[in-house]
Amino acid sequence: MQLGVIGLGRMGRIVVDRVLDAGHDVVAFDLSEEAVAAAADAGAEPADSVADLADRLGDDKRIWLMVPAGDAVDATLDDLDPHLDENDVVVDGGNSHFEKSVRRAEACSAAYLDCGTSGGPAGAELGFSLMIGGPQWAYDEMTPVFDAVATGPDGHDRMGESGSGHYVKMVHNGVEYVLMQAYGEGFELLAEGRYDLDLESVSRTWNNGAVIRSWLLELCEEAFREEGTDLGDVDDHIAGGSTGTWTVQEALEQEVPVPLIYQSLAERFGSRADDRFSRRLANRLRYGFGRHEVARKDE
């Protein structure tokens, strides 16, 4: 099979390498010439534009987008669409919002698969977990590519109609926030609590047979090993948050209670403000109702 890959960053490059390793051909394009040259060094055929990539693919095009979610996906689809017909398949493997994926699928001249991708850079060796939405025939057609990019046949499946792949990935990320928060709270208590503990040792011990072992816990072990048991100079600021926000918005719309996901998201937002207005007001209100002393900034 011949696959066009657009977007050759952390994730797209893994798609290229795994598809090449499985014996398929790859045509690769990125706005970054360095990224295209590196993919060519790995065995991909370089393209210098979206149109050039489409020309090199011939009929029955199979194309994987791995560009940042949002405008980059729309811009790429605008450039691609004049070259597409109903026999072609486009996969969006990024973290797009599921509703945008439904709209893009309706507008696209090709069959459109929304593909939630999980596994991060570790997927280079292990393969990814792929959650795919869209037409069954297009999923079947892309199966050799999904087998190569995922951990294997069990690492991908069609979740359902258009949008369902990115919907499942959105909820996956909400769960990811909660697990991170849960490990964070447990280790915070261990770090601040009454014993002088080596947290790398704790996480290694938990990772070997404990009920709460997991890949995220292995990443905790790696973090304590590389940064130290006090996490050294790692800041308490957590970036990101788009996929968790979407999960909470959808839960509100469906009237499904997700207090843990919301709380984990709020913790992220809270981490970005070191001078919280709500805390300052609560501090002042305690004076109002109880004449409790107000802590002042210069004290």
Ligand X SMILES: NC(=O)C1=CN([C@@H]2O[C@H](COP(=O)(O)OP(=O)(O)OC[C@H]3O[C@@H](n4cnc5c(N)ncnc54)[C@H](O)[C@@H]3O)[C@@H](O)[C@H]2O)C=CC1
φ, ψ dihedrals at 267, nearest 5°: -60, -40
Interface with ligand X includes 94 (CB under 6 A)?
A: yes
- At position 202, the amino acid (one-letter code) is V
Site for ligand 5RP contains 7 (CB under 6 A):
no
Q: What angle do CA 224, 226, 232 make, to 5 degrees?
A: 70
CB of 11 to ligand 5RP, least distance (A): 9
Q: Could you say which of 45, 100, 161, 176 is catalytic?
A: 176
Q: Is 209 annotated as a binding residue?
A: no
Local structure of 44: helix, strand or coil = coil
Binding mask 59-98 for ligand 5RP (x = CB under 6 A): ------------------------------------x---
As beta bridge partners, residue 160 has: 133
Q: Does residue 48 contact residue 29 with C-beta atoms inside 8 Å? A: yes
Please report how close the Cβ of residue 178 comes to ligand X at its closest, in angstroms. 17
Q: How many residues bind ligand X (CB under 6 A)?
A: 22
237 annotated to bind ligand: no
Does 35 engage in binding with ligand X (CB under 6 A)?
Answer: yes
In the complex, the smallest distance separating the C-beta of residue 62 from ligand X, rounded to whole angstroms, is 17
240, interface contact from ligand 5RP, ligand X, none, CB < 5-8 Å by kind:
ligand 5RP
Question: From the CB of 185, what's the least distance to ligand 5RP, in Å?
Answer: 18
Within 5-34, the residues that bind ligand X by CB under 6 A are 6-12, 30-32
For residue 6, the cross-strand partners are 29, 65
In the residue annotation, 176 being an active-site residue is answered as yes
Pick what 75 binds: ligand 5RP, ligand X, none; C-beta below 5 to 8 Å, kind-dependent: ligand X
Strand-pairing partners, residue 27, are 4, 45
Determine if 205 is a binding residue for ligand X (CB under 6 A): no
Nearest to 72 by CA among 37, 107, 100, 113: 100
CA dihedral 104, 106, 112, 114 (to 10 degrees): 50
Residue 176 as a binder of ligand 5RP (CB under 6 A): the answer is: yes
Could you give the dihedral angle defined by the CA atoms of residues 284, 290, 291 and 294, in that order, rounded to the nearest 10 degrees? -30
User: How many other C-beta atoms are found inside a 10 Å radius of the C-beta of residue 149?
Assistant: 29
Active-site annotation holds for 141: no
Cβ(147)–Cβ(218) below 8 Å: no
Does residue 45 interact with ligand 5RP by CB under 6 A? Answer: no
Nearest-Å Rg of the Cα atoms of the chain is: 23
11 binds, among ligand 5RP, ligand X, none (CB under 5 to 8 A by kind): ligand X
The pairs formed by 188-196 with CB atoms below 8 angstroms and a separation of 24 or more are 191/229, 191/230
List residues binding ligand 5RP (CB under 6 A): 95, 118, 120, 173, 176, 240-244
Q: Which residues are annotated as a binding site for substrate?
A: 95, 118-120, 172-173, 177, 268
Active-site residue numbers? 169, 176
List residues binding ligand X (CB under 6 A): 6-12, 30-32, 35, 66-69, 72, 75-76, 94-95, 117, 120
